[in-house]
Structure formats: C-alpha cells, structure tokens
Structure 1
C-alpha cells in the first residue's frame, strides 16, 4: 500500500512514522519547505520526501493520501487526487484504527484549546495514562506509533474533521460555533457548521456529545438533525436534570445520577467563557468517574493557556494582556467582555471574513483607543472609526506596543486581541504573542 502524505509538518511527519511502522510504502511531499528537525526524523526513519513541489508521478500513484489540515481542498493536487478517486483523509482518521484508546475529541470556534488542556490536566491529575494530541501537543499519529496510552484528549479543527470517514470519539465536545475560516467554506456559514458536527456523525448510543446549550448555531443544528450519542448540555443560565450549569455562583454537574458541585470562586480560570470550558471538561471527568477531590484540585490549580488572555506585565500600573490566540471576532468578544478597566486594543492581521458589528457595544463601553496592527486595516477603520476617539496604524509589534503605552494611563489595560490570522506580519499566532511579550518586556 502506497501512502502519500501532503505536508511535512507535525501531523505529516507523525503520520509518516506510523505509516512506516505499519508497513506502508510512505512518501512525504510538501509544496513549501520542511523544517530541518522534521527532515532529520524522515531521514533517520528512511522515509522518502520532497519539498518545494508536488511531483505528480510520485503523488498520483497513491493508494491513500493523508493531507495536512492547512492544505485546502481547492488546491490543484488535492483536486487531481479526488478526480482519480484516491481517498484523501486526515491524520486523525489514519491513526485512529491503530489504537484501542478511549478518545475525547474537542472542537469549537473558541475555547477548544483551553478545554482540551483543562480536560487533559484533569485526566492526568487523576493518574490516567493519557496523551494530548491534535492541534496541541504532539501529533496523534506519532503518539499512536510511539506510545501506548489508554486515553487521548484531541483538539480537532474543522479542517481535521473534514478529513474523517469512520473516526468516532467516545466523548465529543463542541464548545461553541461562530463564523470562522469562512474563506475555506465558500463563505457559507452553514458549511462550516456542518463541518463541526462531523465530530458526532459516527458516534453510537454508548458515546457522549457535550455541548453549549446556549449556542444558537448548535441548537439549530440539533433541532434539525438526529444524534445517536447521549447529549450532555452545559449552560450559564439554564438548569438540567443531566448536564452542567451555574446556579448561585456554584458549578453543578449531574451525570449518571451523580452530582458534582464547586464554588465558582475557586476555579482558577477567570471569565464567563472559562466557566463554560470548565463545565465541559468537568463533564468528561464525571463520565470517566474521576474522584470529586481530584476534579476540585485540578480546577483550582489549572494555569490556563499561553496566548489566551495571558497577563504579561504591569508597567506604571497599566496591565498588558496577550490574547494573540484570538483569531476571530467571537474570541475578541470574550476578551473585551472580561475587561474591567479602560482598554487600549491592539487588533488586526489577515481578515477571514470578519463581521465586527457584534463588538460595537463592547468597544463603545470599554475601548479608549485602537492600534491597528496589520497590512490592510481598512475594514477595522471603517467599522470603528466613528466609535473610538483615537485610531492609529502600525506595521510592527514594537511600534504597536510603544504606541499603546503612549495612549494608556494609570489603571488602563493594553490588550492584544487581534480578531485576525497572523500571517501578514508573523509566522503564527504564537510568534505574534511572543513578539508582544518581548516588546512589553523591552518597554
């Protein structure tokens, strides 16, 4: 069996290692450059590869193709493969049959990384033999090749879900759905929603689907489609006989005739959106019958995720916050909503079809100045030009941070929450966040 892998990044190289181990004839093809560290791994493992091109003779003779999530279905080589009837799948789909582990699959437009890390933290603290995979941690396929975990907590993007056929998580979470990545879905929101719900398409009556019961897109989809999995809702406002909710500043989780309660003030993560993430992760812990003391301890000592509302430094009584992971409007909404002081907002990057109108009332109420950090800021200026008094355009992170310092005064917050992808000026949202933190330390 010839396995061709498109993309020589973390998921591509992980799949190559697992494929080789399982006796496939493996070839890795990357249209860009492959990092030196990954090349070394491929060479050590005797796996053939190419970079800077897709050689048709070497790709189109595949029996099976694993495509990295970053490569769109519209790319010419993928179209050619599909026209020849060659199956193109994701790393998760390829690796899942090679492990007997119970998997928790987590998707959503926002909150999925925090929920994934918190769920992993809960399971690990409970002493379970658990791996962390998907968009965070080491590639799922690589871990299936090298480790023997009993559980996996996997963060799944819509792109990874687009490439599944038979994969079914034992426990699935949809944190929320809001317009994102619409450039990959023909600018049709419905296509993106359908993509997210692929997480439950193969689930059975023995499986669980945990979801936000106040999310319009989720509720509408569930009202029109049948789900076999057992539904476990969570909500900040509604109560359930089975599910998770907040009542009188207590988190209550009821699953399998068992109840767990905890005062919200002891939950380490701040903000309403993080209460939702905590309810989702705790629901998993309850399904897996983790002890209440362990859950309490884990929720009270969890440190959060880098680049997600991460407090960097306080300088001259101004708090600098790195929320570089906020690559869409919905995450910025949560960030601005949790601000309690006048805010200088650093925003901008590659727009993925954003509609900024839902931020209007928050921007009016909380934002005193906007620093636009991007190559093309027209949409942001058009949206907020009449809403805030001061708007400035910059083209580097150092400039953005220095400008924000000038515009802020004692008691203010400087918030990097870009609402956009980072690829115009940075390598990734992590690179953008690290540059922000460095620039703040240099002040």
Structure 2
C-alpha cells in the first residue's frame, strides 16, 4: 500500500475518528509521520482509539481540550465536525491548516481524479460514472458514501487507475491543494445550513471542487442552475454545460425526450432505466465524463439501458397487490423529495419526516400535484402538518415512526398507486443514518 512521501507537515492532529479519521490515522502511522488523535467517544467505548494507543500513538478521548493543538501544524478533521467547533475555530485562529482526509488522499494520487458534488444526485452519479468507466475496461476505483473513504481507495491505486470520488460540502470546505482532473457540479439547493450557517458559505464550499483547477482540467456543470452558472465564472477550468430544460442547446442537453451531445444524438430518454426526470442531470454529466475517457457511444448506451440506480435512492423495492413501492431514504432535504415526486405520473402515497432542522415545508406541499395522501412521522411531523394546513392540504396522517408510517401509507393506498418513502429530512431523530432508516423500511415492506 502507498504511503505519504515528502509530506510537508511535521505534527498532525487527527480530530474525530469514525471511517475517515481511522483511515487518516492508519495512513499517517504507516507513513511514520508524527500524529495524535482526539475523539469525543470515551476511551473505554472507543475500540479504534484503543487500537492506536496500543501502537504507541498519543490518544486523547472523551473531550476536546485546546492543549491537543500544541505543536500541531496540521489538523485532519472528521468532515462532520463544523468550523464553529471550539477546537477547529482555535486551530484557524492559530493559522494551523485544517483539512479533511480527502486532502491526504490527494498526496497519493497517481491517476486521473473525477470528483462529483452537488446537493442531490452525488451518489447516483458517482456510481453511474464508475459503471461507465468499468464498462470501458478502465478498472476505475470509487470512493464516497458507498464503500471506502478516499484515503483507503487511493492507497490501492496502481497503473494510473481513474478514481471516482463523491465529495460533500463538508469535505470540500477543508481542502487546500486538492485538484480533480474532472469536476462535476450537479446542482445547488439550500441544505446543511445547520453546518454552514449561511447559503453563501455552503455555495463557496461546493465551489472549492474547482478552486485549484487549471485550463488543463474540465468542469462539468448544470446550466439550468442559476447559482452554479453565475458562480463558476471564477473557475480556470474548461467548462462544459449540461441542461435538461429543453431550452438550452449547447454542451449536452435534452430536447424533446432525446439526449444530444453538441448536436449529436446519443439516446432516447425512454430507453434509460433510471426513473425520474431529475436523474437526467446525473445521466448527462456521467455521459460527458465517459466521453472524456473515450468510451464508445455503444458502451455508454448499453450501461444506461441497464443501470437502475443505487440502494436508498429512488430504489424500486417491489410491487405489492398492484402498488409500486420505492425507497428514497437518501432524500434528506425538501428539494430531493420534490424531485422524487416529480419522477412519477401515478397517484402517490408519500411518507415524509425525520429530524427537525428548522425548515418550513410549504414548498414541499406546493408540489403535491399527484400526492393523494401524505403520512408524516418523527420530529418534523408537526411542522409538516402546519405547512399542510397553510397550503389547504387535508389528506394527511401523523404517526410516530417509520413502521407506523409504512402501515398507514399502505392502508391509504390502492392498486395502481406509488408508495413513496422519501422523507425530506435527515434521519438522526430516530436512526444513525439514512441507510439504517432505509433498511428498516425495506424490512417493513417485505412484511406487508
């Protein structure tokens, strides 16, 4: 496995363990670079910390004292730890460089990087790009929410293998030198304001994906997104637009249900297996990446006809007595659920709810054009009910949890309906992750 060579930092603090912190710590240990670990989980409950202490690494757990910054010239923080955290804030004040493990991964790369970000569609696009490159016999590697973190993946890279990375705003906010050969900006919608605090900070964090790109690199962006179209003007990369609006005819675009790349017909959207118009953004950007790697059109078309998506992302579960059931647990914000609703023409029985992040749900209710019934659950159920009242939508039930929501949704559905689990909220009021939430929904569906 590769290790860090000619690393410019002398003493590193790994702040927060979990998957990314553990991978960063292992890389630093294998590279013989001095470092220490600080993690909030108490030592007696922290197997990762126990492991590294047994290797002779200094470990401080259970709290975040400021003295851990003494002698440190680099902090590698868990992406989920915000900059307003006292320790991170103090590191910035002391001019200590703060990064995420993606930055460490960049020191190891010896092949092309495809980096993908956006408020919605990152995982689906990352997976589709990986499938396209694999079908083109390029032996690509993949890093992101699915599978291994970037540092682990890049350590296994050899012979110039392409690496396809899914990157969040949390990761991108803390990069310094990271520069992808191809960057994909899918969309920008209001999200994670509990972390970023302002929309401006969120947008600027996303844009860091192209900050270090040069005119030798490529930026693929959504021309239909006015925030992106305006913001990318500062990028030095070659830009390539995609559009699903039907009114823009440059780059790669959709026109009357057909996909064209710079005027050349590629595929009829009816032949694409991924459901929903919103997935066309993911498809268009993925096609451009594949073409940059000179993958033949026939190979691209074959993959698009067979690729059905990713677990928990508008995933078709099964048909129960004429009802088509979909698991979209990854829809952790309102815009993602609106896109899921718009993917169907059939009547929908919708299950929504989860962590209350302070959002109002009026925009969601305004898009209930074919939602015949809604079941709200969890911490945000009351706010959803209040939004329904303001929007004069009455076909609503409130329940406590996903199990009750699934039963109630089924009871209010008929053959020909779509049962759509697309929560529009984060999962953390009742679950550790959207995956755990989606897995429970899958189990409940199989019991219907």
Same fold (TM over 0.5): yes
2:212 aligns with 202
The alignment status of 1:64 with 2:74, answered yes or no, reads yes
* 2:141 pairs with one of 102, 121, 131: 131
The alignment status of 1:76 with 2:115, answered yes or no, reads no
Q: Is the 8 A contact 1:234 1:244 kept in 2?
A: yes
Q: Is the 8 A contact 2:82 2:196 kept in 1?
A: no
Q: Is the 8 A contact 2:276 2:344 kept in 1?
A: no
Distance in structure 2 (CA, Å) of the matches to 1:334 and 1:68: 30
Distance in structure 1 (CA, Å) of the matches to 2:381 and 2:118: 27
- Count of equivalent residues: 435
- SS of equivalent residue, structure 2 residue 234: coil
1:426 aligns with 431
* 1:231 pairs with one of 239, 242, 252: 239
1:159 aligns with 170
Q: Which segment drifts farther, 349-358 or 417-426? A: 349-358
Distance in structure 1 (CA, Å) of the matches to 2:50 and 2:302: 41
1:218 aligns with 228
The alignment status of 1:31 with 2:40, answered yes or no, reads yes
1:174 aligns with 185
2:330 aligns with 325
Distance in structure 2 (CA, Å) of the matches to 1:197 and 1:381: 36
Residues 82 and 138 of structure 1: is their aligned pair in 2 closer, same or farther, counting only changes over 3 Å? Answer: same
* 1:306 pairs with one of 307, 311, 318: 311
2:12 aligns with 3
Q: Is the 8 A contact 1:367 1:388 kept in 2?
A: no
CA offset digits 1:422-441 (Å, max 9, x no partner): 10011110011011111111
- The Cα shift of 1:147 comes to 3.6
Q: Is the 8 A contact 1:171 1:210 kept in 2?
A: yes
What is the correspondence of 1:105-116 to structure 2 with a 5 Å cutoff? Answer: 105-116=115-126
The alignment status of 1:271 with 2:271, answered yes or no, reads no
- The Cα shift of 1:134 comes to 3.0
**RMSD of Structure 2 on Structure 1 (CA):** 2.2
Distance in structure 2 (CA, Å) of the matches to 1:437 and 1:46: 43
1:409 aligns with 414
The alignment status of 1:375 with 2:379, answered yes or no, reads yes
- The Cα shift of 1:157 comes to 0.5
- The Cα shift of 1:362 comes to 2.3
* 1:190 pairs with one of 200, 222, 227: 200
2:21 aligns with 12
- SS of equivalent residue, structure 1 residue 98: coil
Could you list the runs of 5+ residues in structure 1 that have no partner in the other structure? none
Could you list the runs of 5+ residues in structure 2 that have no partner in the other structure? 1-9
Residues 267 and 321 of structure 1: is their aligned pair in 2 closer, same or farther, counting only changes over 3 Å? Answer: same
- SS of equivalent residue, structure 1 residue 136: coil
The alignment status of 1:284 with 2:294, answered yes or no, reads no
Scaled by the length of structure 2, what TM-score is found?
0.91
- SS of equivalent residue, structure 1 residue 219: helix
Distance in structure 2 (CA, Å) of the matches to 1:300 and 1:44: 51
What is the correspondence of 1:243-282 to structure 2 with a 5 Å cutoff? Answer: 243-254=251-262, 259=264, 261-282=266-287
Distance in structure 1 (CA, Å) of the matches to 2:264 and 2:348: 40
Residues 244 and 353 of structure 1: is their aligned pair in 2 closer, same or farther, counting only changes over 3 Å? Answer: farther
* 2:392 pairs with one of 387, 391, 397: 387
1:348 aligns with 353
* 1:315 pairs with one of 289, 311, 320: 320
Distance in structure 1 (CA, Å) of the matches to 2:329 and 2:37: 31
Distance in structure 2 (CA, Å) of the matches to 1:238 and 1:208: 24
Residues 331 and 171 of structure 1: is their aligned pair in 2 closer, same or farther, counting only changes over 3 Å? Answer: same
Scaled by the length of structure 1, what TM-score is found?
0.92
2:402 aligns with 397
- The Cα shift of 1:403 comes to 1.2
Distance in structure 1 (CA, Å) of the matches to 2:59 and 2:309: 37
Q: Is the 8 A contact 1:17 1:142 kept in 2?
A: no
2:370 aligns with 366
- The Cα shift of 1:373 comes to 1.4
Q: Is the 8 A contact 1:328 1:354 kept in 2?
A: no
Q: Is the 8 A contact 1:182 1:353 kept in 2?
A: no
Q: Which segment drifts farther, 27-36 or 272-281? A: 27-36
* 1:141 pairs with one of 151, 157, 179: 151
Q: Is the 8 A contact 1:81 1:88 kept in 2?
A: yes
1:52 aligns with 62
Distance in structure 1 (CA, Å) of the matches to 2:42 and 2:437: 21
